[in-house]
Amino acid sequence: MINLEEQGIKLILTAILKVYAVFTVLTGVLMFAIPVTKKNEYQNNVEHQRFYGTGEGVDQAVLLDDPSLAALARHDIIVNAEHTIDVAYYSLHRDYSAEALFGALIEAADRGVKVRILLDGIAHSMTGSLRAVRYAIMHHKNMELKLYEPFNLLQPWTWNNRFHDKYIVVDDCWGIIGGRNVGIRYFDPNSKRPVNDRDVLIINQGGEDGQASVIHQFKDYFDLQWNCPYARKARVPLRLMAQRLISGGREKTEQVIREARHIARTYYDEKFDWQSLALPTRKITLIHNPVKRMNKEPRILMELAALMDKAKERILIQSPYVIPTRAMLSCFSDEPFQAEIVVLTNHPASRSNSNIFAVAGYLNKKRLVESSADVLYEYYNSGSIHAKTFVFDQTLSMVGSYNFDARSSFLSTESMVVIDSPEFAQVLEESVTETIREGLTDQTMPLVKQVIVGFFRVILFFFDFLL
């Protein structure tokens, strides 16, 4: 009798698991194969002229290619904050770069600055060594923490809509946007598997009255994300256990915060004159994808397509992943581009590029990329490319979080700034050219990686809409 009961329970559990597996595949994978309903209203209203300004604008831009300088810039604008700090990030690594960031943020909150932090609900990594910092933030009167689409076992359709933005806005004066997550790989060139990435520091010269500044667009965008129904206030599960953890771990929390503050003070003890590096701009504009679930209208891709179509001389593209899908190509004109197209991406053999899925997807599309680009460079060195950059006719530049793939186009929240500045475009092109020079040639993919990538090439051929 007992064996029959056990067998019956096993059969029921097996049936439940099978139903759940089918449910997950249908709602978490196949549902995203349904393309966005073709509505040309937004694309038909895209006007590339809106990105151009006349005369010198209120915003200045500093290119942050140097990783140490990028870390220092983040620390400096937080230290100089007087009223508000809004932080938006996809991923945190549990190392001293994250502790230094939170140390500076907590000190700012202690001074009375209102701090809001919005992180991806799956990739945030506010666990382990950062759990104490998470508790401290949640119980600080001047700090708030929200997670975008936290993992929900019963809602597989939310797993693919990730929060991929990476920006900080301080008061009405400062903003940083780019491709860097928070991790030592992004800020220390001597770290294991360093990342070649890029940010832009934006300085509003008009202050609170500079309504033409892109900083105000950033603040509106953050409010939109912060107040959307998918951004949930961070909570600690199991209230009784949480209270015990907080009570019993208060000393540990204070120790971690003291260490974070110490790191913030010692690691970034250098003062820097950002105005000495600032370049003039005529106009800076923020563009972003819609904040919604499921397949989104690919607004950044539509803006990009319009700018590429209007370019006359040269289009420079740098992206860690270049995986054009049929749905993406539908946003482009059938007419050939007038401008020369130069593409820089990661070499498939790169040992620092651990995204096997992206490598497989790129190799499946490589012939298409080669036929579309006039020049294709594949970067191979001790690090990997993670910067997302577009330059049009040595005048307009785009920098931000958007990768040239379906995930960034249709699934994730993404943001980019479009900078009208020949001076900035020149410095940016020189930086990309230097990266091209640093790349090594004639690299061969290790046999084991070839086998693994070859396997995923077959599987992912049918699922490029998720890459």
Backbone angles phi, psi at 223, to 5 degrees: -60, -40
**What's the CA gap between 178 and 216, in Å, rounded?**
17
Q: 0.85 exceeded by the pTM? A: yes
pLDDT confidence bin for 7, thresholds 50/70/90: confident
Handedness of CA 424, 429, 432, 434 (dihedral sign): negative
- Residue pointed to by tokens 């590339």: 48
- Residue pointed to by tokens 């990783």: 67
What share of the chain in percent tops pLDDT 70? Answer: 88
Residue 201: is its pLDDT beyond 80?
A: yes
Find, among 65, 71, 86, 63, the residue nearest to 269 by Cα: 71
Give the sheet arrangement for strand 283-288, strand by strand.
283-288, 415-420, 396-400, 389-392, 314-318, 340-346, 375-379
**What's the CA gap between 402 and 404, in Å, rounded?**
7
pLDDT confidence bin for 116, thresholds 50/70/90: very high
**Can you give the length of the chain in residues?**
467
pLDDT confidence bin for 25, thresholds 50/70/90: confident
**What's the CA gap between 304 and 440, in Å, rounded?**
29
Task: State how far the alpha carbon of 100 is from the alpha carbons of 69, 81, 202, 213, 319, in Å.
Answer: 14, 16, 22, 29, 28
pLDDT confidence bin for 238, thresholds 50/70/90: very low
User: What is the average pLDDT score of the chain?
Assistant: 86
Q: Percentages helix, strand, coil for the chain, rounded to the nearest 5?
A: 45, 20, 35
Decide: 282 and 52 in contact? Cβ < 8 Å: yes
Decide: 106 and 130 in contact? Cβ < 8 Å: no
Contacts of 394 (CB under 8 A, 6+ apart): 313, 314, 422, 425, 426, 429
Decide: 143 and 109 in contact? Cβ < 8 Å: yes
Joined together, the tokens standing for residue 298 give 């690919």
